[in-house]
Amino acid sequence: MGDNAIDDSLEKLKVQLELLEWPDIYLFKFIIPNESEKLALISAIFNNEPEIVMHPSKTGKYMSFSVKEVMLDVNSIIEIYKKASLIKGIISL
């Protein structure tokens, strides 16, 4: 996905999230290659001791990565998605 597609998706998400009240708990979901370096990179994006749940795919090639964290505002959520998009092979759900 190109940068423009990512920006368009994030802009749509931002509009939806602005309808909600913040701070609140937000659930992030990603699919990421099951490589220790990439798992460390995605974990490092989150700050405040979030609740992380990981499940390997049937083949073990990918990891489902779900994170619940208290987010203060919509811009904080968008920033996490932008940082995550820099990790090669990640899919944001």
CATH number of the domain that residue 42 is part of: 3.30.70.260
Q: What local confidence, expressed as pLDDT, does residue 7 receive? A: 76
- Answer for the pair 27, 52: CB distance below 8 angstroms, yes or no: no
Note the pTM of the prediction, 2 decimals. Answer: 0.83
Question: What is the signed CA dihedral for 59, 57, 61, 65, rounded to 10 degrees?
Answer: -170
On the question of pLDDT at 1 being above 80, the answer is no
Q: What local confidence, expressed as pLDDT, does residue 6 receive? A: 64
Q: Between 5 and 91, name the one with better pLDDT.
A: 91
Q: pLDDT tens across 2-58, in order?
A: 466 667 888 898 999 998 999 999 999 999 999 999 988 998 998 767 788 999 999
Q: What local confidence, expressed as pLDDT, does residue 31 receive? A: 95
Average pLDDT over residues 51-76: 92
What residues have CB less than 8 Å from 25, skipping those under 6 apart? 68, 69, 70, 71
Segments forming the whole domain that contains residue 37: 3-92
Q: What local confidence, expressed as pLDDT, does residue 3 receive? A: 60
Looking at the structure of the chain, the number of domains it has is 1
